[in-house]
Chains A and B, each alone.
Chain A
Amino acid sequence: MLAAVRSNILPLFFVLLFGLSFTTDAYAQYLINLMLVYVVVAQGLNLILGFAGMFAFAHGAFMAIGAYVSALLMNKFGVSYLVAMPAAGLAAALVGCSIGIPAIRVSGLYLAMVTMGFSEIVQWILRNWKPVTSGTDGISVASPVFFGVELSDDFQTFYIILAVCAVMTALAQFIIRSRLGRAFVAIRDSEIAAQSSGINVARTKVLAFAISAFYAGVGGSLFSLTQHYINPDNFNLYQTIMQFCMVIVGGASSLIGPFIGATILTWLPELLRNAQAFQEIGFGLLLIVFVIFVPKGLAGLLIDKGILPREEYSSRVRGKWVVRKERAEGSERT
């Protein structure tokens, strides 16, 4: 029973949130929505930073692209949200590709600077391309309409956000258990071994960029739903750093990590009384403390302690637990 719970923690998490949504007040529901949005965004960052080991400093910018594309498509062209959201993801992925293709040529941590420069340029465009983005005034986001029903409050948009988050989680799990996911980890841990085993490193890195940006784009689109109004400040450096914090605190290169990280870091600012100074200090210190003392994050800690099962990197083996001693042979077929 307990083992079944621990092996299916993510589905249970979604069921729990669904149940909770009948009891929440408006503010709690808003925070739950925001948390799910951050789960999506953090999963995207985790794919590139945690799994593929590439230091991309641009996820606030990718998120901005998603948010603005979906909001502008709906506001200016009356496009349905069902189309606008995937379009937002694809737009971000496209930009991710076009920054990724040149950026992977730079070695190691120069990537961090190139991508940070890219974020600054996106910020600059958001602030200065006034006819489209309205500059620092920001733009308001129309409520999505599904089959004639307008989803105007957080209780209603919750269902969209929950569903998208679940789909994106399933996709992330599929990727990680596929060749692509293993290729991500392979290029992170040893590029030379990856190449000598037939992995095209450049292509894998560009894919990591594109997929990761896709998550950020979709997340940005969902984010615009929770905010009803977006401006460039939503997507500044602070946004990107908060996402780093989510991934590292939750557990880099873990599927569950982003859930833990997004949950903690969505509720923490509330405890820090929404004072910017204390949030910054809190997030900064959390990042430092985790990088030093808990480099695998909370998920890694729980897995190493045997509280959660080890996450598998193949689709044919399930539910193995971390075993630090000899183990009997045989794989469970699914």
Chain B
Amino acid sequence: MEIATLLSVGVSNGCLYGLVGLGLVLVYNAQGIPNFAHGELFMASAFAAYTANILFGLSYALSMLVAIVFAFALGVVVEFLAIRPIAMNRSLGRASTEVAIVLSTVGLMIAIKGLARIPWGDSVRKLPAAFSTETISVGGLVLSTQRLLIIVVAFVLTIAISLFFSKTSLGKKMRATSQNTAGAMLVGINTGHIYSATWGLAAICGGVAGILAAPLIFLYPDMGTRMLLKGFAAACLGGFGSVGGVFVGGLVMGIVEIFFGRYLATSMMDIFAPIIIIVVLLFRPQGLFGSRSAVRV
């Protein structure tokens, strides 16, 4: 039974990593850069949920909504202020533009962390769980309701985003832009709007993960970095490609991590993500499933 419990924790953690990874993949595919500020979107959204729920006394559901809107807005605003001016600067070459954008996300990462430190300081906080019932038991397997919620929400959101890309016109435009920016501009797609939408959506992915995780983990301004690494690991496993790939990558990450932590050493859990990142990028950069695309000369 212990294995089943571990598995359920691993799967629900993995769902969180998959969501964070999904946000990273969206930005990576649109702009070719790893977004180092993504962990801070996760952190900020968790605090937004906390503020709405505890400080303003809103209901849990309403707090979630507030936090999701907040995440979306934050994503759109930082893209507009800190990313777009660089992306639109045509005087830099493509490579230097990308390096500059990454540097900007690094600046965002630390600035947002600092901003969060002013009201929240270094003490840790906790958000109560969504449902008053602590656990439910499914066929003998005892699962906390919060973890079940995570699994369900992550599943639904991942499928919704897949559908968004394959069915809606905005989603299709986003895909077209990420495949061929110049071509997309040529056919009259407003790439600025596309980037706003991408960052907003990515922030929602990170934000939802933050909101869902908030009742399970402690909230503190530095919580984003660890999540960022786990999200990167999930994205690497998924090959930075398909939405489903990242989700599975997150699950693999979550499950393997929990078993390593349990049967080797708890401290191993922290080093697992960086090891995955390095090993996968070095030896299987296409991820677990994908095939590698050629780079054009």
Contact = CB atoms under 8 A, between A and B. Distances in A.
Complex: A in contact with B (CB within 8 Å): yes
Contact of A55 (B99, B104, B225): B99
A117 B278 contact: yes
Given A53-B96, A188-B95, A277 B117 contact: yes
A106 interface: yes
B107 A286 contact: yes
B34 A277 contact: no
Given A241-B106, A291-B100, A291-B103, A112 B34 contact: yes
Contact of A288 (B89, B96, B111, B271): B111
Contact of B118 (A114, A277, A284): A277
B149 to A, nearest CB: 30
B3 interface: no
B103 A278 contact: no
Contacts of A241: 106, 109-110
Contact of A284 (B95, B109, B270): B109
Contacts of B274: 116-118, 120-121, 124
B229 interface: yes
A291 B86 CA distance: 8
Interface string A180-196: 00000000110010000
Interface in A105-126: 105-110, 112-114, 116-118, 120-121, 124
B215 interface: no
B281 A109 contact: no
Interface in B265-289: 267, 270-271, 273-275, 277-278, 281-282, 285
A189 B270 CA distance: 37
Nearest to B277: A117
Given A189-B93, A288-B104, A110 B281 contact: yes
A51 to B, nearest CB: 13
B297 A292 contact: no
A23 interface: no
Interface size class of B (residues with CB under 8 A): 35 or more
B192 interface: no
B271 A283 contact: no
A128 B267 contact: yes
B103 A287 contact: yes
A124 to B, nearest CB: 4
Interface string B101-115: 011101111111111
Given A277-B115, A285-B111, A118 B278 contact: yes
B271 A120 contact: yes
A220 to B, nearest CB: 20
B290 interface: no
Given A192-B297, A276-B114, A277-B117, A292 B85 contact: yes
B95 A53 contact: yes
Interface string A285-325: 11110011001000000000000000000000000000000
B232 interface: yes
Contact of A53 (B99, B229, B236, B297): B99
Contacts of A171: none
A106 B107 contact: no
Nearest to A285: B111
Nearest 10 pairs of A and B residues by beta carbon: A284-B111, A280-B114, A287-B107, A117-B274, A277-B117, A281-B114, A288-B107, A117-B277, A120-B274, A284-B110
Interface of B: 32-34, 36, 82, 85-86, 89, 92-93, 95-96, 98-100, 102-104, 106-115, 117-118, 225, 229, 232, 236, 267, 270-271, 273-275, 277-278, 281-282, 285, 295, 297
